[in-house]
A and B are shown apart, each in its own frame.
Chain A
Amino acid sequence: MDPVILPNIPKLHTIDVYEANGGYKAFKKSIGMAPEAVTDEVKKSNLRGRGGACFPTGLKWTFMPKKTDKPKYLCVNGDESEPGTFKDRQIFESNPHLLLEGTLVACYAMGITTAFIYIRGEYGKWIRMVEKALDDARTRGYVGKNILGSEFSAEIIVHKGAGAYICGEESALMNSLEGERGYPRIKPPFPAQYGLWGCPTTINNVETLSNVPCIINNGWDWYSKIGAPKHPGPILVGVSGHVNHPGVFEMPTGVPLLEIIHKYAGGVPGNKAIKAVIPGGSSTPILRGDQLEGVSMDADSMKAAGSAVGTAGLIVMDEDTDLLAVLARIAKFYHHESCGQCTPCREGTGWLEKVLNRFVRGEGRGEDIDLLMDIANNIEGNTICALGDAAAWPVQSMIRRFRDEFEKRVGAHPVKEEAA
């Protein structure tokens, strides 16, 4: 299929080129439809969130109350911080108007008049690109009061984060936007009932909203036939690690991982064997390289293989990779990013890091393998948000699939620094 999220059109980031290529057509079409019909179109398309959870987007939109005295808000999640994930940045850079158009359609469908695009602070350069696109869209009358002479008004505000992985969690993002520490909230109540400032709020990922215009333009039927039937549509897969051509590739869902690695990303340097892959960002369970046959980039296939699509940030590791050093690094990350509210996560992520570093130093003890599993099991499911799970899954999956790697390192001599 031809790419629709990141088509290869020079200067598509400018409003002139975007409009010349059918830009804002979906938005114009939407405001001629009933809002419910727009939501229905997205619902029937089977679009599922691209931020990691694969939740059906149209269904999420229907959770918003139709009648309420309170203002309603849309949060666009551009906090993109999951290690191995770098796809939303590509949208900010190459196709920011697509994101704005999807945002406007979502606002119209849900009767929302204010949307906040929350972008991680490290993306300063890309924040300015989105702001420029927003200024241009406003100048052309797509944003503001009585848009294009209609009854519909919507304002979009770009909000800069300040360095905290946890703010990609939807309720932490809302707290951060409210000027608080980025602490996740206990759910329920869910954002559609009690979101920003206690008002009904929907949070969608950047790539998710960028999928909306093509659904409106071509219809749900067209969209639902792209890729994997239960998880359809184009998907941006970011491939990094040991591949010849790392990068972000747009493809239909359901492409086999081996095809992604060998055809899209040019294979493994030196034709080395693949030892392991992390398929969808650092929190998704690791898969063995010798068990990738038949596994593809869609929710069902990934689930069957014992992992998840996550953010589709695929990290490839060749046969020479020190997997325990990788796991220790992942553990360090989650320890650093734990917000500290829940004891199992705050303490457990630190314990995981310490015990894993023992293995990296060659000082692991036989009982440490079960200890790691025990700590991970006691974090998973026992915290307010999914960061605890995200810290537990890599450890659990590594022990299940690469137990020999741990056993080899019990009481072994210290590994050389080079190995890392």
Chain B
Amino acid sequence: MLTPQNLQRIENLKKSYPHSQALVLPVLWIAQEQYGFISQDTMKEVAALLKLPFGHILGVVTFYTMYHTKPVGRNHIEVCTNVSCMIRGSQKIVRELEEKLGIKMGETSNDGAWTLSEVECMGACGGAPMCAIGEEYYENLTPEGVERMIESASKRKVGA
């Protein structure tokens, strides 16, 4: 169940929009923040809360890439491989990450610490090649710098 604090946040959001359906994306963000991912049960909960059909919520969740329908690692590394990053060596960064973490693109490590994903352009082309870990952007990556980045990311508090 969504926490009373989160339900209050949702209640406050209602004032900003003329129709409650506009809350679908914000509420899914809050739900994902609380649960870590959006399960079918969570979709049902959100649907009931906003008085919308379950199918509508399912449709929205599966349309947007940032909603996770499965758990992701505590550190979610998203590597951009689009043009600006690609021509500045993102493939080498991907290889280095796969090697250092012992997982392939799209996988989560057994201890649940790391998930590695390939993503489309994140709007940091001036710092290519880049990746994001959570909301933090790491730019101008080099294969040699990957290990340092992993170390510093693993020291950060979860969710920070």
Contact = CB atoms under 8 A, between A and B. Distances in A.
A161 B121 contact: no
A85 B123 contact: yes
B60 A179 contact: yes
B125 A417 contact: no
B21 interface: yes
Secondary structure type dominating chain A contacts:
mixed
A165 B120 contact: yes
Nearest to B78: A122
Nearest to A177: B22
B16 interface: yes
Interface residues of B, number: 43
Interface in A316-368: 317, 321, 325-326, 329-330, 333, 336-337, 339
B26 A159 contact: yes
Interface in B78-96: 81-84, 86-88, 91
A339 B86 CA distance: 24
A313 B137 CA distance: 19
Interface in A118-161: 120-125, 155, 157, 159-161
A162 B125 contact: no
Interface string B52-84: 100000011001111100000000000001111
B18 A159 contact: no
A83 B126 contact: no
Contact of A246 (B50, B52, B128): B128
B66 to A, nearest CB: 4
Nearest to B67: A162
Contacts of A16: none
Contact of A120 (B52, B83, B123): B123
Interface string A235-268: 0001111100011100000000000000000000
A84 B25 contact: no
A333 B136 contact: no
B128 A240 contact: yes
B120 A333 contact: yes
A204 interface: no
B82 A333 contact: yes
B59 A181 contact: yes
Report the interface size class on chain A: 35 or more
Interface string B106-126: 000000000000011111111
A121 B66 contact: yes
Contacts of A157: 16-17
Contacts of B50: 179
Contact of B88 (A86, A160, A241, A248): A241
Given A83-B84, A317-B87, A181 B63 contact: yes
Contact of A248 (B23, B84, B126): B126
A182 interface: yes
Interface of A: 71, 80-86, 88-89, 120-125, 155, 157, 159-165, 176-182, 197, 238-242, 246-248, 278, 282, 313, 315, 317, 321, 325-326, 329-330, 333, 336-337, 339, 417, 420
Given A85-B121, A315-B84, A329-B81, 4 more contacts: A83-B82, A83-B83, A178-B22, A333-B120
13 contacts: A83-B84, A89-B123, A123-B123, A125-B136, A162-B25, A162-B28, A162-B29, A179-B22, A179-B25, A179-B60, A240-B84, A282-B121, A315-B83
